[in-house]
Amino acid sequence: MSDIDKAISDEIWMEILKRLPVKTLGKCRCVCKPWDKLIVSPPSVTAHLKNYSQNAANRLLMYRRFSNPPEKQEQYTLFLDSGEDKEGENLGVRHTFTCPFMATKSDYHFRVVGSVNGLVCLSDDLFGYTYAVVLWNPLIHKYIKLPVPLATYQVTVGAYISMLGFGYDSMTGDHKVVRLVYIRDRNHLDTTPPKVELYSVQEKRWRWVSADYLVDICVCDIKWSQCFLNGNIHWVAWERDANTKVFQRNWLLLFDVEGERFKKMKLPERLHKVSTLNLSVCDHDEKLSIIYSELKGGFTGKEMERCEIWVKKEYNVGTSWCKVISLDLGANIGLGWVQCLRKSGEVLGFTKKGTLVSYDPSTKQSKKFLGFRGRLRSWATCAFTESLVLLDQKHEVGTYKQAGGRMKKRFTYNIDLRSRAQTMNEEEVKVDNGDEEDINDNIYYHGGVLISETLMKFEGGKMTGDLSELLSQVGLL
């Protein structure tokens, strides 16, 4: 250590280091052992996170897409949310990387549940009964593989639908994953209240949480969305009549991560009776936002006709919903699908062929980003904050050398029916773009059945033709 290093206290060094990007800090760790020890210390990790989360200039958006064959790669890009990028700089890109994990179905991808404090929650649950959930910090190549949840198809329950939420308890400094499980009755209806379990990173286990409040409140199960704001996880939900089980109205369902309890929030009156399948919840510049989409051909449509974006200006004021965007996507504006609203007021979406595009409603001009293309409905966008979270933890945290190589980690589920022991294992798998498995395998079979039931529940539809045809209709093939 130099004389300068000795003359400067750790407190001053921490003030300097907390302002540096994660990638730069990774290089600083190699300078000397005292710096490495300081950077990976819990106080340093906390100080860096606080500095980056409170500075609006550091706000990023994370965009995920699944590239078409022959690559078939789950690719992530971090770019500035401000929209202040210069022409030709591709959205102000800060980082790009390929997902180091492989979904059960090698031809598909993980669901992006959400991102909190630089951790991305991924779930391999797009089809069937799979239980792989990962908390991943892509900038430091660290991850936590969650254990098998309590409610599983083989052991504890029959047919069911599940959805996840990801949030942060600021009182205890604990990241938590919430899992809602609606068991299907003989009439293919969701049984309420659902079973609810919670995973705590600090406790390193799943445990049950009371769901008595959720009588006749159901989270929209197909293509569900969630976002974490103001200490609460938010899902789009719908209420049904207690006797007839018929749809009554839409709500936002909230889970208080600190108090571990549920509550409801009203949507704009305009959205009370619309199809729940056409609603998604997201974060716009740290404000709660709802996207309402009307699709050509109904839920199975691959293109939007109209889109409205609503923002809640004041979180605790029920009447503060404001419609900030209303677009007719059939008016040749270059958009086929709307994904989110950027801080600049530009709408981020995609063309009919899957190319990323930014549309400015004030100038009515759109700009394509030809280097960003993905498979239909593989897109996901959420807010992201650079952080060192997981760097200060040694146990139960996995690591990998790089993302984007030909070797990926895949998670497998094992069960001993005699002892009912359940484990989630992982293995290194060489990426193979060869022939795909039969479309009627177990995972896709269950996925098709669940999609069929959802269509019947909301739109009076029914499954016609073979399973691969249905999956193609909803954009999952």
Pairing of strands 347-350, 337-341: antiparallel
Residue 233 has pLDDT above 90, yes or no: yes
d(CA 261, CA 253): 11
Q: Are 189 and 273 in the same domain?
A: yes
Find the mean pLDDT for residues 78-93. 67
At 276, is the secondary structure helix, strand, or coil?
A: helix
Whether 69 and 189 map to the same domain: the answer is yes
356 shares its domain with 454: no
* Statement to judge: residues 449 and 354 lie in one domain: no
Average pLDDT over the chain reads 81
In a domain, 54, yes or no: no
pLDDT of residue 147: 93
- Is residue 4 a part of any domain in this protein? no
**Is the domain of 450 the same as that of 378?**
no
341 and 444 inside one domain:
no
227 and 310 share one domain: yes
Name the residue type at position 51. Answer: N
- Residues 452 and 354 reside in one and the same domain: no
CB under 8 Å to 86, separation ≥6 — which residues?
92
Looking at the structure, tell me whether residues 379 and 476 fall in a common domain. Answer: no
Residue 23 lies in a domain: no
Question: Both tokens of residue 433?
Answer: 């773009």
**Is there a single domain that holds both residue 348 and residue 448?**
no
| C-alpha torsion 102→386→47→260, nearest 10 | -60
pLDDT for residue 119 is more than 60? yes
Residue type, 65: R
pTM: 0.86
Residue 370 has pLDDT above 80, yes or no: no
Lowest-pLDDT range, 152-156, 230-234, 432-436? 432-436
Task: Choose one of 353, 384, 415: the last residue of a domain.
Answer: 384
Comparing 1-5, 138-142, 278-282, 368-372, the range with the smallest average pLDDT is 1-5
Please indicate, yes or no, if residue 42 is contained in any of the structural domains.
no
In a domain, 327, yes or no: yes
Peptide bond into 21 cis (omega under 30): no
CATH of the domain at 207: 2.120.10.80
Query: Of 351, 366, 384, which residue is a domain's last?
Result: 384
* pLDDT at 345 (0 to 100): 86
Total domains, the chain? 2
Show which of 360, 384, 408 is a domain's final residue.
384
Same domain as 452, residue 365 = no
Q: What is the pLDDT of residues 255-299, one digit of tens each?
A: 999 999 999 999 999 999 998 888 999 998 889 999 998 887 666
Say if 452 falls within a structural domain.
yes
- The total of other beta-carbon atoms located within 10 Å of residue 84's CB is 11
Flag whether pLDDT at 338 surpasses 60. yes
What's the domain range around 456? 440-477
Q: 93-98 and 407-416: which strand pairing?
A: unpaired
CA pair distance 366, 255, nearest whole angstrom: 37
- pLDDT tens-digit readout, 344-366: 888 888 887 788 888 888 888 88
Is the residue at 3 inside a domain? no
Asked, for residue 45, whether it belongs to a domain, the answer is no
Q: Are 372 and 464 in the same domain?
A: no
Q: Among all chains, which residue has been given the structure tokens 């250590």?
A: 1
